A and B are shown apart, each in its own frame.
Chain A
Amino acid sequence: MFLINCPYCGERDQSEFSSGGEAHIVRPKQPTKLSDDQWAEYLFMRKNIKGVQFERWNHAHGCRKWFNMVRDTSNDKIHAVYKMAEKPPVK
């Protein structure tokens, strides 16, 4: 059970949050111009890293804000949290 530092509310228990999968996957601006394969790449393909991973999280039972998190999946260490529009910190 993590302690997550919501960029808007501060430190809260993990039970207040929901995880939203891999971060920094941008919805294509012109989907109609994509081939089936390219669209499938966006739609279905996700990384599942053992190690440092960039993730989306939502403070679902709090401020309802989405934000990003850098987490090491091998030891659950949270290296950084940052707001949606912000640039990811360099490793």
Chain B
Amino acid sequence: MSSDLRVNNNKFIDQTNQISFKFNDQILYGFKGDTLASALLANNIHLVGRSFKYHRPRGIMTCGSEEPNAIVQIGNDPSLTEPNVRATEIELYEGLEASSQNCWPSVNFDIGGINNFFSPFIPAGFYYKTFMWPASFWEKYEYFIRKSAGLGKSPTKPDQDVYDHRYLHCDVLVIGGGISGIIAAKMAAQKNLNTVLLDDKNSLGGFTIFQNNENFKINNENSNLWLKKEIETLNSFKNLTVKTRTSLAAYHSYNYLLAKENLTDHLSLNERKDKIRQRLWKIRAKKVIIATGAIERPLIFNNNDRPGIILSSSIKKYIDYYGVKCGQKISLFANNDSVYETAISLNNSGVSVNSVIDIRDKSNSSIAKQAEKLGIKIYWKHIVVNTHGYKKINSIELMKLSDNGSGVVGNKINFECDCLGISGGWTPMVHLFTQSGGKLKFREIDNTFIPDNAPSDQISVGSCNGDFELDDIVKNTNKSVKEFLNTDNSEFDNLKVICSKEVDKKNIWLLPSDKPLGKTKPFLDFQNDSTAKDVKLALREGFKSIEHVKRYTTTGMGTDQGKLSNMHALGIVAETAGVKMGELGTTTFRPPYTPLTFGAIVGRNVGEFFDIIRRTPIHDWHVEHKAEFENVGQWKRAWYYPKENENMHQAVQRESKAARDSAGILDASTLGKIDIQGTDVSEFLNRIYTNAWSKLEIGKCRYGLMLNEDGMVYDDGVTTRLGENHYIMTTTTGGAANVLSKLEDYLQTEWPELDVYLTSVTDHYATVSICGPSSKKIISKVIPGLDLSDNKFPHMSFKNVMIDKIKCRVMRISFTGELSYEINVQSNFGKSVWEKCFKAGEEFNITPYGTETMHLLRAEKGFIIAGQDTDGTMTPLDLQMNWIINKKKYDFIGKRSLYRSDTIRENRKQLVGLLTDDPNEVLEEGAQIVSETNKKPIEMLGHVTSSYFSPNLNKSIALAVLISGKKLKGQKMFVPMKNKTIGVTITDSVFLDKENKRLNAEL
């Protein structure tokens, strides 16, 4: 550590607690309480990265979240490394390893820096103009651009850290723990309101806590001492929660806010074990007080981006808070009085301030006078026209500003310096205010946008509200909070505040130089490397809206979101275009205010908690029997049950054959089930299904097709009449929730007169489906007393039965075309009933089958799956299911749409079957169908929706949708694939047992 850059007797960092860390593989030392940035500066390291486009050397420029340059990669563990961390925000901890981003091979020797010499050729929009054409080359360009841009490295392994989400409800949320936030929080707490105060730093106090200057006093004490005592009083309030290291990320409507609390990033690695790293707070506040302060503006002049050029207020914080001198020979350059606070602080700490360059003619403020009295040389009405020093500033050139401010006059003055502090005034941090929907107004006198109309119960206080002077801050914060909280608290009414007042103001957005603009490099956006020249070029090329200029030049589009110089970009656009800034408006500030980690965003919703996993009551049996599983929505469904060395195809072929040869057993528990009761259910079913329901007898089942109001197939399933006013409806597995809410919607909003009640019972029942010619024998073993004869228990009927004293409902319904029974039983008995059936079926070679075999078997029968063979554009007529439409019914959902001009077109896509010329060739689902192969462009007539090799027919079968398919049966078509063209014949969509004999066939 260069001890000559440290000031002793610092109160804010612990100089007895030395910490070692690594930067670019070099071992360095700092103190507990340092940020990485302050520790680097104490080690005389300014150069921390390279700029994005020109790879110019860049140094630490600020002390906070607005930092554009000091962006580092933390750590190199493949699961924990983090890119794009601001060195000004991360607190130093033992073992911290950081490295520069955006430079290769090293920050000191950077190959991309060669762009700097070509820079006259990289104007605004260069990448857009050059690399966009031809479009097919983009992939190649992108590779090289990204490589040289090097925006940090993503971790390559899953994040091991734990993140958390929590809700917080409070009466008053105060954002920002500077002087105004502290006054506001105390007043809220005194009114007995449940109050939360957040600050993104590790301690409260903002800028005032190190404002140790005779010119700023509250009740005869220096302002920092007064504030320190106020902070100590906060501990006494039980109804006040103070959260430090917590940054507000987003402010949404209705006072809903997101804040990220850093819990371990400041701890050494071994102290972090078993702790939550970051917590995302979801806050709903009755009232919000924004006290986010202001950010100092830079100045825009030639070569204003060299390492060693730092915001003046940051130099002050480094010396007064961290006890770090940013240089030994510091010059300051400003257009306002706050620079003199920095000058005096440096002077008091023994740093030689060799000059202050002030663009104004004079300043009559007490603080400027004090600086002059201390012997600091002030160059009034001068500006810096150039800077020198490649990896760090070593000298500056100044000239006198012309009377009208548009040029420079007289001789150049040169002098050496190792650091240049700059201050272009202050920008209120209105980001959160505007995120919440607040509207800004422009204040001409100091060129600031300040809060005007707030959309929710909130106020802005302090410098984020445009009060920059201590007396105004205290007086106006007190006044606004009193009104806002309706309190007569008089504690802050009569504070005696003394402060230096700024009366002389002058602002020039783009400072002139002795050279023309084309020959200078006045940087506006330091992270994205855009200059004032780029903004002017954008205007010349016709971009007028500030949003367009922003995107074309990329100004303000970096990870810092242009916090530093958005105002200068606006100012230059306004000046050049000859409009007033207030009329130009601002660009939109979008959340998050500072970047959030993905970890904080997802919280605990990772791995198995990413989404809900639904398992059937029979799941464990499938696992024991080595099933492979398929995700169907949130459900885990048994897909197939491979034996020994079987692959999926072999298993599915075996299962499919067994189900038709003797017996198969399927877990159908995932089917959606809706219990429907009421006196008007049959009328209700008439209105929602396409077929007739009035005459469904108790104990009978019926298949129904549900349409959308646009006539397109929505869902299907079997509904059973259990009693006079009691029905149970099944839906597709994936459609269950949507069907229920659609039915509720109609019941509540269109047909409130119907006496119908819907209850989702999907999870209440397990469903065991047994099919095949042996199924009747198996059921007779499981339910001995039940008469299974076709006339007593025919297809599409149901019985209430007991299995081992357990009530079950048995339906004779079939999705395979085989004789088939579905046993519905209370979920917790599902597995035992399944096992009983399986045992009873063993002598008949009962074979468990999964969803794949289920799909194959129904495809053999030409049964559709809503959502696979339909896609929201198929009517029942397109599916050739005319039989299910009851034309006599007065109305049902979607009926009117079935004879719209579009739905009666003959040349719609219609469901057909396909048989391949080579019966062993299985088509790919999704493959396109064409009528000729040697035409370009080839006309696509349809596509394959389901395709299998049928072991029962010993040939390949497929379902497809095809333009005018109904009329094309028997015709030849082609399915072109990557390496071959497959010939197919259009057929009927029912491949097996057209006469439905198997429904009653038993062995």
Contact = CB atoms under 8 A, between A and B. Distances in A.
Whether chain B is bound by chain A comes out as yes
Interface of A: 1-3, 13, 18, 20, 26-28, 30-32, 34, 36, 39-40, 43, 56, 58, 60, 64-66, 75-77, 84-85
B897 interface: yes
Interface string B739-770: 00100110011101000000000000000000
B254 A32 contact: no
A66 B253 contact: no
Given A13-B256, A60-B741, 6 more contacts: A1-B254, A43-B710, A56-B749, A66-B744, A66-B748, A76-B253
B284 interface: yes
A66 B749 contact: yes
Given A2-B253, A3-B254, A84 B284 contact: no
A84 B745 CA distance: 11
Contact of A43 (B437, B895, B897, B901): B897
B900 interface: yes
Given A27-B750, A58-B741, A84-B752, A39 B253 contact: no
B78 interface: no
A60 B745 CA distance: 11
Nearest to A64: B744
Nearest to B740: A64
B711 to A, nearest CB: 9
Contacts of A39: 896-897, 900
Most buried by B among A1, A13, A66, A76: A1
A36 B744 CA distance: 27
B636 interface: no
Interface of B: 252-254, 256, 284, 437, 455, 709-710, 741, 744-745, 748-750, 752, 890-891, 895-897, 900-901
Contacts of B254: 1-3, 76
A61 to B, nearest CB: 11
Given A31-B895, A65-B748, A84-B752, A36 B900 contact: yes
Nearest to B750: A27
B284 A3 contact: yes
Contacts of A2: 253-254
A56 B891 CA distance: 24
Contact of A34 (B741, B896, B901): B896
Given A31-B896, A43-B710, A66 B745 contact: yes
Contacts of A27: 709, 750
Contact of B748 (A26, A31, A40, A84): A84
Contacts of B744: 58, 64, 66
B749 A32 contact: no
A36 B749 CA distance: 24
22 contacts: A1-B254, A2-B254, A3-B254, A3-B256, A18-B741, A27-B709, A27-B750, A28-B896, A31-B891, A31-B896, A32-B891, A36-B901, A39-B896, A39-B897, A43-B710, A66-B744, A66-B749, A75-B455, A76-B254, A76-B455, A84-B748, A85-B752
Contacts of B897: 39, 43
Contacts of A60: 741
B894 to A, nearest CB: 10
Nearest to A3: B254
A20 B750 CA distance: 14
A81 to B, nearest CB: 14
Given A2-B253, A58-B741, A84 B749 contact: yes
Contacts, number: 58
Contacts of B752: 84-85
Nearest to A23: B749
A80 B437 CA distance: 20
A1 B896 contact: no
A75 B901 CA distance: 41
Contact of A13 (B284, B710, B749, B890): B284
A3 B257 CA distance: 12
B751 to A, nearest CB: 9
Contacts of B252: 1
A30 B891 CA distance: 8
B313 to A, nearest CB: 35
A20 B256 CA distance: 23
Nearest to A29: B891
Contacts of A76: 253-254, 437, 455
A75 B710 CA distance: 33
A73 to B, nearest CB: 12
A45 B900 CA distance: 16
Most buried by A among B455, B890, B895, B896: B896
B901 A20 contact: no
A18 B710 CA distance: 21
B710 to A, nearest CB: 6
B437 A40 contact: no
B891 A75 contact: no
The 4 closest A-B pairs by CB, nearest first: A31-B896, A1-B256, A66-B748, A3-B254
Contacts of B890: 32
A42 B752 CA distance: 20
Contacts of A36: 900-901
B960 to A, nearest CB: 28
Contacts of A77: 455
B455 to A, nearest CB: 6
A32 B896 contact: yes
A85 to B, nearest CB: 7
Contacts of A58: 741, 744-745
Nearest to B439: A75
A90 B89 CA distance: 53
Nearest to A77: B455
Contacts of A20: 745
Contacts of B284: 3, 13
Contact of B900 (A1, A30, A40, A65): A40
B314 to A, nearest CB: 35
A32 B752 CA distance: 22
Nearest to B257: A1
B435 to A, nearest CB: 12
A66 B741 CA distance: 10
Contacts of B900: 36, 39-40
A31 B707 CA distance: 15
A75 B891 CA distance: 41
A31 B901 CA distance: 15
Contacts of A43: 709-710, 897
Contacts of A56: 749
Nearest to B709: A43
Contacts of A13: 256, 284
Contacts of B741: 18, 58, 60, 64
B427 to A, nearest CB: 25
A56 B741 CA distance: 13
A91 B744 CA distance: 29
B872 to A, nearest CB: 14
Contacts of A75: 437, 455
Contacts of B455: 75-77
